[in-house]
Chains A and B, each alone.
Chain A
Amino acid sequence: MQPHGDTPATVPRAPLAATAIDEAARRRSVRRSAILFAAIAAAFYFGFIAMMLLRASE
């Protein structure tokens, strides 16, 4: 098969959306989930060190 160029390379814009996006709500949601995952990562980091400290103190 040869590479297939079925549409011109100069299409200016993507097709329009049917649904609008609430930017403010999306920003809040992005911030919330970023903080959540950062907290999970921090919990794993400190959790494993704490686990070792507890084990050492037994």
Chain B
Amino acid sequence: MAEHQDHAAAHATEDHKPHGWRRWVYATNHKDIGTMYLIFACTMFFIGGGAAMLIRAELFKPGLQFFDPQFFNSLTTMHALIMIFGAIMPAWTGLANWMVPMQVGAPDMALPRLNNFSFWILPFAFTLLISSFFVPGGAPAGGWTMYPPLVLQTGASFPMLIFSVHLMGASSILGAINVVVTIMNMRAPGMTLLRMPLFVWTWLITAYLLIAVMPVLAGAVTMLLTDHFFGTTFFTAAGGGDPVMFQHIFWFFGHPEVYILILPAFGIVSEIIPTFSRKPLFGYETMVYAVASIAFLSFIVWAHHMFTVGMPLAAQLFFMLSTMLIAVPTGVKVFNWTATMWKGSLSFEPPMLFALAFLFLFTIGGFSGLMLAMVPADYQYQDTYFVVAHFHYVLVPGAIFGIMAGVYYWLPKWTGKMYDLKLATVHFWLSAIFVNVLFFPQHFLGLAGMPRRIPDYAVQFTDWNEVSSIGGFVFGAAQLMFPYIIIKCVRAGEPIGNRAWEGAHGLEWELPSPPPYHSWTTPPSDAVIARGAAH
């Protein structure tokens, strides 16, 4: 009997995690899977970033320097696919895996085996996609938007593209189902919806968006596949099909996808700014409603991506006005973040620096988005570098800085160690300065008429392209500091207590640092939840 009790006591305190490769291949623990997602996303970030460096090297001077135009188009296509589906989306899923169970008081994700499956799909999907560089005809070069009829001219890599997009979509849908089911069913008693941290809220809404739109992308690429191989003419005008219909379906997926990439960053910034302002978040409930409104509006704005394709005036007006309407809930959020800082006791550690850069620079991306929403102006900007500047301001200092802010915020919790704050601050300043050197001149190039997706350009665009390329090289090199800082922290960081940051609130900070292998094996008490939910 005593022996049995000893055994039970050992079970109560030991992690019982598998060791060696089995821990990772058969992983069902949310932290292990989260770590794998984040390592995968970081790897893809550097592969996609490598493609970006090659693009900027080619564009440093007019004329063809290194690549033929076909390969250049492959680089732009693959850069986008890798960054969107391989870097940003898996990074968010990794952060959700790590943080959602800890923040809602759950022991793990609701569907741990599905979680393992949805991660392990990704390495196969991206091996398939990236290996398309080596097949006859080269990698896909028709743009990440895969518009027919151009994409139907892709060579041997076409089925690889379609199958890998399918796999990425399946992985995202399974991951999203897991997040929704976890949040709806696994919250600790007392963790009501309006006590949830903003990161959990934004991920819940993101997961609904994913479940609604990723199947639409899968349906669209299935129709491309049957057009290419099985004689259907969904998008082939010669057979009675409609290529413009593909654009409508693609952007019905594509615009909510933009919010899938950015909403979790809103959540992270909403966690970080109150922590380093030492004040509760201003307008918690309005933040939740603003995120929900943005998600709803994202379904009814898709055709602003295709004003120049041609559509009735009423449709142009509808999509222009609905797009401009998004500025209202976005403005609410920016106001609330600013009001949170108002008269706060601010300090500027790396997570706060990245969050503030997000606030300023994402807002610039939002403003250029408003300019693009206006139909007459869009006719001038369409397919120019102005569009490239706009969406890179949204995705780099928006989504990527949001991910980096989140990693710098929670890394001490994950590892139980503090990273090198000075080095991380240097990483921030290099990133914040050179992301502007990289992308701001692209506004000027676009307004002056430089088209996007070209390897060569007229000589009058040279100066700003050189500035942009130099910004790109320094920004790219600075990102090598990010994994170095993380590895240095894991190996030799200073041990830290439960609450790594003085002003931090939330259930994750109630757990030890690093947290136990199984997070909340017994749910937190109402008092602990109330202390954490001090919005």
Within 8 A of B (CB), among A19-55: 19, 21, 26, 29-30, 33-34, 37-38, 40-49, 52, 55
Distance A29 CA – B512 CA, assembled complex (angstroms):
30
Most interface-central of A10, A15, A19, A40 (chain B CB within 10 A)? A15
Chain A neighbourhood of B516, CB < 8 A: 13
Among residues of A, the one whose C-beta sits closest to the C-beta of B346 is A1
Is the C-beta of B496 less than 8 angstroms from some C-beta in chain A? Answer: yes
Among residues of A, the one whose C-beta sits closest to the C-beta of B352 is A1
Partner-contacting stretch, out of B153-161, B216-224, B329-337: B216-224
Q: Is the CB of B497 within 8 A of A48?
A: no
Chosen A-B contacts, 16 in total, with CB atoms closer than 8 Å, are A1-B501, A3-B494, A8-B497, A8-B498, A14-B524, A14-B528, A15-B522, A15-B528, A30-B111, A30-B181, A30-B185, A41-B177, A42-B215, A52-B234, A55-B245, A56-B240
Chain B neighbourhood of A11, CB < 8 A: 498, 512
Report the minimum CB–CB distance from A58 to chain B (whole Å): 10
Is the C-beta of B241 less than 8 angstroms from some C-beta in chain A? Answer: yes
Distance A29 CA – B222 CA, assembled complex (angstroms):
33
Q: Is the CB of A7 within 8 A of B522?
A: no
Total cross-chain contacts (CB, 8 A): 144
Is the C-beta of B202 less than 8 angstroms from some C-beta in chain A? Answer: no
Q: Is the CB of A9 within 8 A of B512?
A: yes
Distance A29 CA – B184 CA, assembled complex (angstroms):
9
B215: contacting residue among A30, A34, A48, CB under 8 A: A48
Q: Is the CB of B184 within 8 A of A6?
A: no
Given known A9-B416, A44-B212, contact A15–B496 (CB-CB < 8 A):
no
Given known A4-B500, A14-B520, A49-B223, contact A37–B511 (CB-CB < 8 A):
no
Chain A neighbourhood of B180, CB < 8 A: 33, 37
Given known A16-B525, A18-B525, A21-B523, contact A56–B349 (CB-CB < 8 A):
no
Q: Is the CB of A40 within 8 A of B497?
A: no
Q: Is the CB of B501 within 8 A of A3?
A: yes
Given known A14-B510, A26-B185, contact A48–B501 (CB-CB < 8 A):
no
Given known A33-B181, A37-B211, A45-B219, contact A18–B189 (CB-CB < 8 A):
yes
Residues of chain A at the chain B interface (Cβ within 8 Å) = 1, 3-19, 21, 26, 29-30, 33-34, 37-38, 40-49, 52, 55-56
Distance A55 CA – B496 CA, assembled complex (angstroms):
61
Chain A neighbourhood of B497, CB < 8 A: 4-9
Is the C-beta of B359 less than 8 angstroms from some C-beta in chain A? Answer: no
Is the C-beta of B188 less than 8 angstroms from some C-beta in chain A? Answer: yes
Q: Is the CB of A9 within 8 A of B215?
A: no
Among residues of A, the one whose C-beta sits closest to the C-beta of B178 is A34
Distance A30 CA – B20 CA, assembled complex (angstroms):
31
Chain B neighbourhood of A13, CB < 8 A: 13, 516, 521-522
Is the C-beta of B371 less than 8 angstroms from some C-beta in chain A? Answer: no
Q: Is the CB of B215 within 8 A of A41?
A: yes
Distance A43 CA – B218 CA, assembled complex (angstroms):
12
Is the C-beta of B110 less than 8 angstroms from some C-beta in chain A? Answer: yes
A17: contacting residue among B189, B212, B496, CB under 8 A: B189
Q: Is the CB of B218 within 8 A of A45?
A: yes
